[in-house]
Structure 1
Amino acid sequence: MNRKTLVLTAVAGLLAPVLAGCGGAEGGSGGDAAIVVGTTDQVVATKEVPAPLDPASTYDTSTWNVIRQTLQTLMAVPRGGGVPVPEAASKCAFTDNEDESYRCTLREGLTFSNGDPVTADDVKFSIERVVDINDPNGAAGLLNNIDAIDTNGDLEVIFHLKTSDATFPYKLATPIAGVVNPKQYEAKKVRKGFDVDGSGPYTLKAEVKNDKVTKIVFTKNPKYKGALKVNNNKVERITFDDPDTMGKALDKGDIGVMLRTMSPEQIKTMTEHPRDDIDLTEMPGLEIRYLAFDTSAPSVKNKAVRQAIAYSVDRNKLVNDVYGTTAESLYSLIPSGISGHTNSFFNQYGDPSLSKAQTVLRNAGIKTPVEFTLNYTTDHYGPATKKEFQTLQSQLNATGLFKVQIKGTEWSAFRPAEVARKYEVFGMGWFPDFPDPDNYVAPFLDKGNFLNSPYVSAETQNLLIPESRKEANRADASDTFGRIQDIVARDVPVLPLWQGKQYVASRDDITGVEWAVNSAAEVNLWELGRGSS
C-alpha cells in the first residue's frame, strides 16, 4: 500500500477563508496519552539571544512554532489559507477608506492561563512592548507602520497606521503580535529563559540541558477561548540532533510524528519503499533558500560581482544533485504559488553562462579570481545544507572567476554574526510570516530589514512597497511586485536559489497531520489527534 498523501494546501488568494474550527478548548481526544512529535529544530539560549521564546526577541520558524501554541493573537490565518479571521478577537476591520485605522473587539471572557483577564490594555501593552524593546533578534520591523494604539474600555483596541497597509491583519496573526500578561513580561526588558505564558490553546513546560531545549510538554489550556478546536490533551515535542535519529524513533514508535526537518534521503526512501504503518504527507511549500550579500563588503560591493555570481550558479544542477524532487529552482524572491510571482532572475540572466559572467566582470574592471567565503548554518535548515554549499563552491570555483571558501556555523552563533555584518556572502532560508507577496519583499528590502542589509533601493522603499500595500485585492498589486522583483534581479542584494516542499511523516494512528503543518511550515499542534488516518 502506498501511504504517501499529497495535500494541496491553499495559498494566498486561491481559496475563500475557511475557519480553522470552533468551540474553544473542549473536544480533545485520545485521553491523557500524549502525542509525541519529533523535530530537529533547535531552541537555544545564548549570550546574544538570552530570551529565545520571548515574542519581542525571536524571529525564526523553530521558536515561532513554539510560541504560536501558547500565545494568542487577535487574528489567525485559517487552516485552508486565505485572509485572516478573528482568533482572540471577535471581530476586526478597517474603519476608513485608506486602510489606516484598524479596530478589533476582543472575545468576552478571555483569560490568561493563570486566570487573569485579557483586556484591550494587555493587547496594547504587548505590541508596544515589542516596538519599544526593538530587539535586533526580533521582528519589530513588522510593526513599524503603527503610529499609535488606543483602547476603548476592556474589549476594544484601535490601531492607527502611518500609511495604508492591507497586510496589517496578517501581521496581527503572527507570534510577534502575541498577547502577553504585563504581570509576567516587563515592558522594557525581554523575558530570559524558556517560559511562555499566554491565553492560547496550550500551556508549556520546557526541559532544558546546557541552555538547549530537549523536550517541551504542551498541555491543553482549559481556560482557552478562541476559534481553534484542540483535538488532543497533551503533545510532547522532542528535539533530535539529526534526522536519522529522529527517523529511528518514528520507526520504533517512540514518536508518532516526524516534523521539521527530514532529509532528502529519508523522503526518497519513504516514497519509493512505503510502509503500511507510516504515512508520508507531502504539501506544496512556500519555503525559499537564497544567498544574501553584505553589499558594503569589499569583495561583493561592486554590483558586477554579484551579477557574475548570478550568471554562474546552476540552480537546476544544485537542486537535482542535492534535493532531488523535494525542491525546484527559484528565480525570484516571491515563490510560485504566491500572487505576483515572476521569474525575474531567469529573464535577466537566463541559463548559466560563463561568457556573460566574464564579460560583466571585465566591463567593470574587476580583477579575478574574486575571493570570498560562503557562510552557512550547520543546524538550522537540515542536513543537506553542507552539501548544498559544497556544490555552490564547486560551481563558482569551476568558472575560474572566483576563489570561494565555505564555512559552517551553528545557528546560535550564525544569526548574530549575520546581523552584525560579519559575513560577506551567506546562505539563508525564509519561511513566510504570512502568505502574501509583501512578506517576501519588505523583510529583505524595507527599512529595518531583518538581514540588517546595507542595500537600499529608494524606489522600492519609498514608492513601490507603500503602493503595494494600498491594494486590498492583493492580485491588483502584481505589477508593482513585478517591478520590485526586476530591481532585485538587476542589483542582486540577494540571489534566490530554490523553493522547497513540506513533508511530515507519521504513524498511521495519528490524525490531522495534513493540517498540523502548512505550506509556510507553521506547526499547529492542536490539529493532531488519534484514530484512523
Structure 2
Amino acid sequence: MSVLIRRLCLTTAVSCMSWLLVACGPQRLPSGLVYCSEGNPESFNPQLVTSGTTIDATSHQIYSRLVDYDTQSGKLVPALATSWAMSDDGLSYRFTLRENVQFQHSKRFTPTRPFNADDVLFSFKRIIDTQHPYHFVSRTGYPFFQSIGFSEQVKGIEKINDHEVVFYLTRKDASFLSNLATDFAVILSDEYAQQQLALGHPENVDHFAIGTGPFTLVQYAKNEYIRYRRHPDFWGEHAKIDMLVFDITTKSTVRLAKLIAGDCSVSALPKAGELPVIKQHEELNIESQPGLNVAFWAFNTQKPPLDDVRVRRALAYAVDKQNILRAVYQNTAIEATGVLPPASWAYANNKGLVDYNPQKARDLLKEAGIKNLSIDIWAMPVARAYNPNALKTAELIQSDLANVGVKVNIVSYDWSVFSQRLSRDDYDSVLIGWNADNSDPDNFFTPLLSCAAMQSNNNRSRWCNPEFDAILDSAREVSDQGERKVIYQQAEAFLAEQVPMLSLAHAKRVALTRSDIKDMQLTPFGGISFAHTSQAQEEAN
C-alpha cells in the first residue's frame, strides 16, 4: 500500500476500503494531495460569505467564473465567457459563452445539459432580484455583492440565446469586469437549483455544491476534512491529481507537525515564528508571494467615544506598528501606510500621515475630554494571510494603549461564534483584514468602507460617509488608469484624515510544502487553487 493511500485513509477515516481496492488491484494508483487547512468553510457557495477559509475550499476548487485573472500578469482572461464587448456608452456588456462545458454530478444531481446562459442568469439574478425564489434562501445575504451595490449597479441581465448574455448597467463602472472575476462571482447550475427547489430543499444548492470547476465535492465532515475528486469533464486543463483532501487542522503547530511527518503535503498560514523550523528540514519548502492584502484595526464609529475623530486619531497615534511587524510578522510583511499595498497600481506611500506618536495621542485624548477610557478589541481566533496571529497583535496594542492611559480588554471566540457576533455590531473595535481577489483598487475601498458595505455588515468600521462614497463613484466612472490612480490617492488621504480604521500591515502570502510538490502557485490575490498542483508519485511499499 502506498504511503499516500495510507495518509489519505488516516486523514479521512471514511471510504478507505474503496481506495485500498484501487491501490491493491490492477488499476493505476490514484494520485492525491492532502492540504492542512486552518478551518471550516461557512458555506460551499462563496457568494454567501467573504471569509478566506470558505473561498479557499470552494471558489477555485469547485467553481468557475465568466472571466478570470491571469496569475502572472494580473490581466483579465476568458473563462466560461470566451469573449466580451462593452457598449460605446459603457452601460452594457455582451458575453459570448463557452460551449460544451459540463457540470459536475453527484448522488443528488446528474446534469442533462451543458452550461448555458440560463446558469448565468440564475447565478446573478438570485443576487439582485428580491423576488427570485432563491434570493432569501441565503440567510447571510450576499455580502460582497451587497457591499459593492451590485443590485443597484446591474439594471438587468438578458439571455440573447444559449451562448450569449448581456448585462445592463445603471452607470459606467470601470470595476465591473473585475468584480465578475472575483472569487465570489461563481457560476451555479440553474438545472440543479430548479430540481432542488421542486424537491423542497433549495438550501442543498449551497451545501452540496455543483459547479464546473476542476474538482467535484465528495464529502465534508465538520472539524475533520473535505474530500474532492478530479472533475473528469472539466472544460480547461484537467487537474493533475485524482484526489484532494482538506485536512481541517485549526492549530498552526499541529499543521506544522503533520507537514513534517508527511501527513499533509501543503500547509496553510504558518506563524512567522515557525518559519525557522521549516528551514531545518530539507524536505520542506516555503512558498511566498507579495500579497494584495491589508491587516487593520477597525473602530466602530457608531459607538461613543469612537464616533469622535480625535479619539480615533489618538488611538492610531498610540500604536507602534514597527513593533507589531517585528513580533507578529517577523519580516513577512511591510508596514501599511494606507489601505492599498505596494503591489497595487494605485499605491502611494502615505507614511507620515498617522505615525507612531504617543504624546500626540495623549494630547488628542485630553483635547477630546477623554479620561479613563476602556475599550474592547475583538481579535480573530484564526490565522489569516494578512495576520498570522491577531491575538498577539491585540496584546501588543493593549500594551501601547496602556502607555497613553487607555485600558484594553481583548475579546475572542471560536471562529463561528466570532463571525456571528461580529455581524451584530456590538463591538468597540476589531482586528481583522482583507485579502483582495482582484487587482482593481476599488476592491479594497468599496467592499470595506462604502455605505453599502455598512449595510451588508462588511464595513467593520460602521462608517458611512457620502463624501467618501462620491470619491469612489468618480474613480469608477473613468477608465484611464492614471486618472483613477489620482482619485484613489485622494481616497487614501481622506481615510487618513477620518481614521475609521488603522491599517497595520501588508503581508506576504505564505504556504508550506513538501519538496515533492510541483507547480504550487500562490497569487497576490484570491483564494488558493490546486488545479495545476502535482505531487511526485510515491513508490508502493
1:446 is aligned to: 450
2:183 is aligned to: 175
- The normalised TM-score by structure 2 is 0.84
**1:104 touches 1:156 (CA, 8 Å); kept in 2?**
yes
The 10-residue stretch of structure 1 (322-331 or 307-316) with the greater mean CA deviation from structure 2: 322-331
Match of 2:398 among 388, 393, 401: 393
2:216 is aligned to: 203
Tell me which amino acid in the other structure corresponds to 1:41: G
Correspondence 1:108 to 2:115: no
1:18 is aligned to: none
**2:232 touches 2:238 (CA, 8 Å); kept in 1?**
no
SS at match of 1:290: strand
Match of 1:155 among 151, 154, 163: 163
Distance across 1 between alignment mates of 2:485 and 2:408: 37
- Per-residue deviation at 1:268? 2.8
Distance across 2 between alignment mates of 1:509 and 1:136: 41
Q: Give runs of aligned pairs for residues 252-331 of structure 1, distance below 5 A.
A: 252-258=261-267, 260-271=268-279, 273=280, 275-331=281-337
SS at match of 1:498: strand
1:79 is aligned to: 71
**1:75 touches 1:85 (CA, 8 Å); kept in 2?**
yes
**What is the identity percentage for the equivalent residue pairs of Structure 1 and Structure 2?**
23
1:4 is aligned to: none
**1:380 touches 1:411 (CA, 8 Å); kept in 2?**
no
- Per-residue deviation at 1:229? 4.8
Distance across 2 between alignment mates of 1:495 and 1:521: 23
Q: Once the two structures are superposed, what CA deviation does each residue of 1:370-391 show, in whole Å capped at 9, x if it has no partner?
A: 2111111212437622111111
Distance across 1 between alignment mates of 2:420 and 2:126: 22
2:427 is aligned to: 423
Relative to structure 1, the CA distance from residue 336 to residue 290 in structure 2 (aligned partners, 3 Å threshold; closer, same or farther) is same
Distance across 2 between alignment mates of 1:193 and 1:117: 20
Tell me which amino acid in the other structure corresponds to 1:459: E
Relative to structure 1, the CA distance from residue 483 to residue 242 in structure 2 (aligned partners, 3 Å threshold; closer, same or farther) is same
- Per-residue deviation at 1:86? 0.9
- Per-residue deviation at 1:194? 3.5
1:221 is aligned to: 231
1:234 is aligned to: 243
**1:112 touches 1:118 (CA, 8 Å); kept in 2?**
yes
Correspondence 1:130 to 2:135: no
The 10-residue stretch of structure 1 (467-476 or 109-118) with the greater mean CA deviation from structure 2: 467-476
Distance across 1 between alignment mates of 2:482 and 2:443: 14
- Per-residue deviation at 1:196? 0.9
Distance across 1 between alignment mates of 2:462 and 2:512: 41
Distance across 1 between alignment mates of 2:29 and 2:349: 50
The 10-residue stretch of structure 1 (133-142 or 419-428) with the greater mean CA deviation from structure 2: 133-142
For structure 1, the residue ranges without an aligned partner over 5 or more in a row are 1-29, 45-51
Relative to structure 1, the CA distance from residue 360 to residue 413 in structure 2 (aligned partners, 3 Å threshold; closer, same or farther) is same
- Per-residue deviation at 1:185? 3.1
Distance across 2 between alignment mates of 1:214 and 1:520: 27
**2:461 touches 2:501 (CA, 8 Å); kept in 1?**
no
- Per-residue deviation at 1:418? 1.9
- Per-residue deviation at 1:231? 2.4
1:338 is aligned to: 344
Tell me which amino acid in the other structure corresponds to 1:316: Q
**2:49 touches 2:144 (CA, 8 Å); kept in 1?**
yes
- The normalised TM-score by structure 1 is 0.85
1:505 is aligned to: 512
SS at match of 1:123: helix
**1:59 touches 1:138 (CA, 8 Å); kept in 2?**
yes
**1:163 touches 1:466 (CA, 8 Å); kept in 2?**
no
1:48 is aligned to: none
**1:36 touches 1:257 (CA, 8 Å); kept in 2?**
yes
Structural RMSD (CA):
2.2
Tell me which amino acid in the other structure corresponds to 2:439: P
For structure 2, the residue ranges without an aligned partner over 5 or more in a row are 1-27, 106-110
**1:287 touches 1:521 (CA, 8 Å); kept in 2?**
no
Distance across 1 between alignment mates of 2:156 and 2:383: 36
- Per-residue deviation at 1:479? 0.8
User: Whose helix fraction is larger, Structure 1's or Structure 2's?
Assistant: 2
Tell me which amino acid in the other structure corresponds to 1:469: R
Match of 1:520 among 495, 510, 525: 525
Correspondence 1:347 to 2:352: yes
Count of residue pairs the alignment pairs up:
481
